[in-house]
């Protein structure tokens, strides 16, 4: 009995030592929130696939699916430039109500989030619409707006275990009345470092090259 009690005490002591040497995942976590802006470059990659002719013979009305590549450059809480895989559907069945949906994957080999730097993969999912509206006293200007959500899928280096979700908004105004074209994009995101879940396991195909 004494031997058994001694073994129990020894196990408890070893467990206590192990806990003191290995901080809990809760103590390793850090949550931050911030905002920023981004600029982008896009190139359409053929083919553009016509999904529907909208049931008429008007070449200006269609539903089409397309892919674009390019770069997104972030400033603010996220700082860096990533390569882009952008997939979207454009619907002009009612030209005055042109709209669509998109999914964009941004892959960073080197990006800073807060004060930590590493590789990361970011996902955008959202919608866009094009509307004719007055701008600077000019009627019928085709203005594009976008809105969506973004999230970190995974990270490497100092960003390993990163997670986070946020919102995204954009307004694109063409040059009008002597004013330059404006491409205005902003985001806000909550980020957690030290996510106990293996983010790479959740998105293995996208994150395997980090």
In a domain, 18, yes or no: no
Total number of domains constituting the chain: 1
Whole-number pLDDT of residue 207: 72
Q: Is the peptide bond before 183 cis (omega within 30 degrees of 0)?
A: no
Residue 198's CATH number: 2.40.350.10
In a domain, 134, yes or no: yes
Cα(39)–Cα(17) distance, integer angstroms: 50
* pTM for the structure as a whole: 0.82
Residue 173 has pLDDT above 80, yes or no: yes
Q: Is the dihedral of CA 17, 19, 23, 27 positive or negative?
A: negative
Beta strands in the chain (DSSP E): 30-52, 63-76, 78-91, 99-113, 116-135, 138-155, 163-173, 182-193
In a domain, 174, yes or no: yes
Give me the DSSP letters along 99-151: EEEEEEEEEEEEEEETTEEEEEEEEEEEEEEEEEEEETTEEEEEEEEEEEEEE
Q: Which of 160, 150, 65 is nearest to 106 (CA)?
A: 150
In a domain, 13, yes or no: no
Give the CA diameter of the chain. Answer: 93
In a domain, 188, yes or no: yes
Cα(205)–Cα(210) distance, integer angstroms: 10
Higher-confidence residue of 206 and 107: namely 107
Whole-number pLDDT of residue 12: 45
In a domain, 15, yes or no: no
Cα(66)–Cα(87) distance, integer angstroms: 6
Whole-number pLDDT of residue 5: 53
Q: Which tokens is 127 given?
A: 């919608």
Tens digit of each residue's pLDDT (9 = 90 or more) over 70-125: 999 999 999 999 999 999 999 999 999 999 999 999 999 999 999 999 999 999 99
Cα(185)–Cα(101) distance, integer angstroms: 17
In a domain, 171, yes or no: yes
Percent of the chain with pLDDT over 70: 80
In a domain, 19, yes or no: no
Q: Which tokens is 149 given?
A: 């959500």
Bridge partner residues of 106 (DSSP): 84, 122
Residue 7 has pLDDT above 90, yes or no: no
When the pLDDT of each residue in the chain is averaged and rounded to a whole number, the result is: 87
Whole-number pLDDT of residue 182: 97
Domain that includes residue 126, residue range: 30-207
């Amino acid at each position: 009995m004494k031997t058994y009690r001694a073994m129990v005490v020894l196990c408890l002591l070893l467990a206590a030592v192990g806990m003191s040497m290995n901080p809990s995942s809760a103590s390793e976590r850090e949550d931050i929130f911030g905002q920023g802006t981004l600029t982008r470059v896009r190139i359409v990659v053929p083919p553009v696939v016509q999904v529907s002719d909208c049931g008429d013979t008007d070449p200006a009305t269609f539903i089409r699916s397309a892919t674009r590549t390019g770069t997104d450059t972030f400033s603010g809480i996220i700082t860096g430039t990533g390569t882009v895989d952008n997939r979207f559907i454009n619907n002009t069945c009612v030209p005055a109500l042109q709209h669509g949906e998109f999914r964009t994957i941004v892959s960073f080999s080197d990006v800073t989030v807060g004060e930590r730097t590493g590789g990361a993969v970011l996902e955008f999912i959202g919608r866009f619409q094009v509307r004719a509206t007055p701008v600077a006293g000019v009627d019928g200007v085709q203005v594009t707006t976008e809105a969506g959500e973004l999230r970190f899928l995974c990270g490497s280096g100092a960003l390993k275990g990163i997670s986070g979700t946020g919102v995204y908004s954009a307004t694109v105004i063409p040059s009008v009345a002597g004013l330059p074209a404006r491409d205005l994009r902003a985001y806000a995101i909550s980020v957690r470092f030290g996510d106990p879940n293996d983010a790479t396991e959740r998105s293995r195909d996208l994150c395997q090259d980090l």
